[in-house]
Structure formats: C-alpha cells, structure tokens
Structure 1
C-alpha cells in the first residue's frame, strides 16, 4: 500500500514539476492580409452620352445606360445609374443626398463628403466615404448641372464588417474616384 501511495505521489509531483510553464495567453484574432493586383484602366466608350475609364480587371454588364462593375474576387459590385436632367436637377441632387444620409446614418460611423469639380470637362459632383458597417462604403454623384446626372454606389456581398473589408473598400473607392475624374459628357 505504501509503495502504491509513493508511486502516486511521485507521479503527482512529476506532473506538477513539468507542467509549470509560463501562463497561457490567448492570441488575438487575426485578419486576412488582402492584396489585389494593381488596377489597369482603359477608356470605356459607349453609345451613352458619357465615357470614363474603368478598371479592366473588373467585369462589366449594362442595361441601357446603367452599368454594373463586378469585382468577383472581392464579392463587390459598383452600380452606376445615368439619368437625363429635365429641369429637375434639384430633385436628382436631393435624391442622391437622401440615399447617402437617410439610408446609411443608422449603421455608419461617419460620412465624409469630398466635393469634386472639373470645370474643363463640366463635371461636378460629390464623393461620399461611409465609415462603419453600413451596406455601402462609398457613393458618388456626377453632373454637368444641365443635361447629365450619374450616381454610383458599391455593395459588398458579405456581412458588413468594415475592418475586414477595408483593403477591398479602398481598392474599389479608388476605382470609383477614377470614374469621376475621367468622366466626360458627349
């Protein structure tokens, strides 16, 4: 009996001695490191009354003068909608601003306005960066104030988690800015 007790005592002491190590500290959650190829822009010429440069790495579909720019690797789509101005520029501007502020203020942490003015090409507009877990992270409108009006917004087909999709958001936002910067009216 004494021998068996000694074996158990030695076993317990050995386990205690070898198990004494540094405290186990949980590791923080990691995020994916997302990298995308450098964009390659090409002019998009259409039968519509506008043209602009688009990332040739994205896929384009269109109906009439409304375009969808698909980014399959990012699970994102930029929706471009063109409208002809019929003495209703105020209503079109109000609708574009309502889309930004009324639909996104509940989930957005902040909305940053970035005015865009290119008097040489008669392109005027606003680019909105939406921070937080909103449905869209960027929107814009562009107009010449008399004949043409275009809106654009990006939607990711994933649960909004701003930190996780930040690299993809930045990539697509840069493409959307490029569309505004290269926009010309016919």
Structure 2
C-alpha cells in the first residue's frame, strides 16, 4: 500500500510540475489613450471687428484687445491665438514679422511646410505653415488684403510638445485653422 501511495504521489507531483511549466510572464506594454473627436461643425463668427470667419462650434472664443481672439479647445488643452493689425504702409514689416515668428520654431521643428493661400474674389492672401516635430506650435498662418488688414493665427497646446502624443489633437485643430483662414472675409 505504501508503494501504491508513493507511486500515486509521484504521478501527482509529476503532473503538477508539468502543468505549472508555462512560458515566462511578460509585462503588458503601456497602452496609449485613443483620442476620438467629434466631426467638426462650423459656424460664422462676426462682431464689431473688421473681419469675420468660420470657427468650430465646439470651441470657445474670447475677444482680447484690438480685435485679437483666443479660441479655446478645452478637451484638447489647445488655443488658437488670432491677432489683427491695420496695415499702415508697413505690409513688408508685417509679413517679415509673421514669417520670422514661424521660423523661430525651426530649432525644434523637423520640417516646416508652406501652403500659399490666394482668394482673389474675397481679396484674402496669405500663407499657412504646418510645423512638424516637437515645436511649441504645429500650425500658423497669416492673411491680408495687402492694403488695410493683417491677421495672424497660431495654435499652442498646454502640454509638453511631444508630437506623437498630441498628433490627433494637433491634426484636428490644424484643420480648424485652415478652415478659419479659408473663410476670412473683410468687412
């Protein structure tokens, strides 16, 4: 009976050892947050300032001084800043300053793509800049009629600029900025 019990225990121990041998346990990789944003709906924005434009209905707009605006995206921790200046025979200076502001990001940027914008019917001319890489801003633009009006816009995120992390939000806001530029009308 002792031999039978020892044999039975040996079989149980052997089965336990065989069944407990599994592959090494590996830690799960860290997951990334999936960011889905609603389809943008645009509405016209107009007030006493000498220009109007379309903006995302989900954004919150706040007027700053001298017809400047802050368009806030709370879910994305982003803000589009618009500034307005009158052209007083200084269009070359305004253009140079707008371009200089964009190219100050060249230190951190991987690439800066320039997209000219021309709308002869509305007399709106400008440039849209897409800044790729870990720069403080990933999109900027300027628009002018070359005679009276000059508007600049740039987006900033309230997060450390890691382009891979903010790319979905950056792409969403960049599309809103392009829409804003393409819908500017002078009054």
> Shorter-chain TM-score: which interval?
0.7 to 0.9
Match of 1:166 in 2: 167
Q: CA deviation at 1:25?
A: 4.7
Match of 2:83 in 1: 81
1:141 aligns with 2:142: yes
Q: CA deviation at 1:37?
A: 1.2
Q: Which runs of 5+ in 2 are unaligned?
A: 1-9
Q: CA deviation at 1:20?
A: 3.0
RMSD over aligned Cα, in angstroms? 2.0
Match of 1:95 in 2: 97
Greater fraction of residues in helix: 2
Q: CA deviation at 1:46?
A: 1.4
Q: Structure 1: how far apart are the matches of 2:76 and 2:130? A: 18
Q: Structure 2: how far apart are the matches of 1:134 and 1:145? A: 29
Describe the superposition over 1:16-69 as per-residue Cα deviations: whole angstroms up to 9, x where unpaired: 644432344554443221111111111111111101111111001012300000
Q: Which runs of 5+ in 1 are unaligned?
A: 1-9
TM-score by length of 2: 0.87
Q: Structure 2: how far apart are the matches of 1:58 and 1:118? A: 26
Describe the superposition over 1:66-123 as per-residue Cα deviations: whole angstroms up to 9, x where unpaired: 0000000000000000000011111111111111112x11111111111111111011
Q: Structure 2: how far apart are the matches of 1:15 and 1:154? A: 62
Q: Structure 2: how far apart are the matches of 1:149 and 1:173? A: 20
1:1-186 matched pairs, under 5 angstroms: 17-63=18-64, 64-102=66-104, 104-186=105-187
SS in 2 for 1:140: strand
Moved over 6 A (4+): 12-15
Aligned partners of 1:143 and 1:149 also within 8 Å:
yes
TM-score by length of 1: 0.87
* Stretch of structure 1 that moved more, 17-26 or 166-175: 17-26
What is the total number of aligned residue pairs between the two structures?
A: 177
Q: Structure 2: how far apart are the matches of 1:168 and 1:150? A: 23
Higher Cα radius of gyration? 2
SS in 1 for 2:170: helix
